[in-house]
Amino acid sequence: MADSVSPPTGLMAAEMESVPAMVIRGGTSKGVFLRARDLPADHSLWGPYLIDMFGARDARQIDGIGGAMPTTSKCCIVEASERDDADVDYTFAQIGIGEERVYWDFNCGNLTPSVGTFAILAGLVPAVPGRTSVRVYQTNTRMLLTVDVPTGPDGSPLVAGDFEMAGVTGAGAPVTTDFSRAIGASLGGGLFPTGRRTDVIKVPGVGEVTCSILDLANMCVFFRAEDVGLTGFEMPAEGPQVAERFHEVRRAAQDLLGVDHAKTTPWPVAFTAARDFELFGGGTLAAGDYDFAVRFAGIQPMRDTLHEAFPGTASCCTAVAAVTEGTVVHGLYPGRRPGSVLIAHPSGTSVIEAATHEADGSCVVDAVRIARTVRPIMRGEVFVRKAEIDRLSAVIPASDRTRSAVPAPVLPGD
């Protein structure tokens, strides 16, 4: 994949290893894409490789390829799948910022469409003119997803287009991901892990809060912003005190679920009724231009800030919550656009196609799809230091190198 780059030689070869890589933007995130075959067969070394590769030890990530932001400290590891129902296996890694840690217990919805583009560019799937469907087995969540990539006459992924999305400058070709089969992504059970559509959690300093917990794409806990002393229109610059309230909600939901606090899910999502508000990047969004507003924070890589936009997987989970009767979110969903949900976040809006129906007292997810633009940025090789890999392997227990104190994903070959 990177034949134009010479491998290290001489003393450099003794000190460093090179790994073929691509950098691709997907939605409002940017990630480093690697082939699993180019990483060690011992998956416990993947964590040390990524920590050094990204310069995770430093909060600025100056000594690595990371961008020192949660949206740019991400890696996607892709390989041809041996499964009959998938074309590629895809493992997501969120690399720590200012800490020697990798988070493996969730998926990135913004970068998932980029997996389809990467699979075509890497020759892992045969491309056809018009549109190429890539069947993806997402190893972190053990879910099957489908990515539809628009392609040109020669089968190459298209970049140019007229689809615009908040948080990204310009327009591009829409790459869609179908998350309808991603139920039980975090806990492996049903859509409602508690068996109820609403629950009550006890949040320190607040008291009892009514919420809904859904496990689709990534498990989320939804709560009214006003119920925890927020407006629902907070901005990232408002800092640690606001973000800590999201942490508290997440921990309270984890206590209800019996989930270790070391896990990043359920993701806490605050929502509130639509009103006019000033966008993070400038401009005003009118209340009539969206269904309801959301805010998200609460996992360590997001540190002490709110997300500048909204995660793709959380968008899908939110949309399903909105169209499903009995959830706390459904009460604020006006249903003005049948089959779609338009949510507002600090940077603008996201539209998600979503539909459910009731069968024998249970909710059945018929559709949940989201579109993102994708742009390949760089192809080459990234270097890691052998001495750092050895050091990290010595200081991080083998059982923790690929799991970060949470259950490890089922990786290809395990």
User: Which CATH fold topology does 199-371 show?
Assistant: Diaminopimelate Epimerase; Chain A, domain 1 (3.10.310)
pLDDT higher at 402 or 405: 402
* DSSP one-letter string for 193-236: TTSSS-EEEEETTTEEEEEEEEEESEEEEEEEGGGGT--S---G
Q: Give residue-wise pLDDT tens across range 113-133.
A: 999 999 999 999 999 999 999
**What mean pLDDT comes out for the span 168-181?**
95
The structural domains of the chain, with segments of one domain joined by +, span 10-182+374-400, 199-371
More confident residue, 397 or 155: 155
Strand partners, 29: 26
Do strands 102-103 and 130-138 pair parallel, antiparallel, or not at all (unpaired)? Answer: unpaired
- Give, rounded to a whole angstrom, the gap between the first and last alpha carbons of the chain: 25
The residue with tokens 């259950």 is 407
| Gap between the Cα atoms of 277 and 274, Å rounded | 9
**Helix axis angle, 46-54 relative to 386-395, nearest 10°?**
120
Buried b (16+ CB within 10 A) or exposed e, 49-66: bbbbbbbbbeeebeebbb
Per-residue pLDDT at 304 exceeds 70: no
Output the CA–CA distances (angstroms, integers) from residue 280 to 224, 233, 316, in the order listed: 21, 10, 22
Q: Outline where 2-66 has alpha helix (H).
A: 10-15, 46-54
pTM: 0.87
Judge contact between 369 and 177, C-beta under 8 A: yes
**Mean pLDDT, range 2-30, rounded to an integer:** 82
The CATH homologous superfamily for domain 10-182+374-400 is: Diaminopimelate Epimerase; Chain A, domain 1 (3.10.310.10)
Q: Are 295 and 270 in contact (CB under 8 A)?
A: yes
d(CA 23, CA 32): 5
d(CA 103, CA 114): 19
Give dist(CA 13, CA 11) in Å, integer.
Answer: 5
Q: Do domains 10-182+374-400 and 199-371 have the same CATH topology?
A: yes
Q: In angstroms, rounded to a whole number, what is the distance separating the alpha carbons of residues 162 and 218?
A: 29
Banded model confidence at residue 410, pLDDT cuts 50, 70, 90 = very low
Enumerate residues 6+ apart whose C-beta is below 8 A from 39: 19, 45, 46, 49, 77
- Which of the 8 DSSP states describes residue 279? -
What is the share, in percent, of the chain residues with pLDDT greater than 90?
Answer: 74
Percentage of the chain lying above the pLDDT 70 cut: 92
The mean pLDDT of 244-266, rounded to a whole number, is 92
pLDDT of residue 412: 47
Biggest distance spanned by C-alpha atoms of the chain? 68
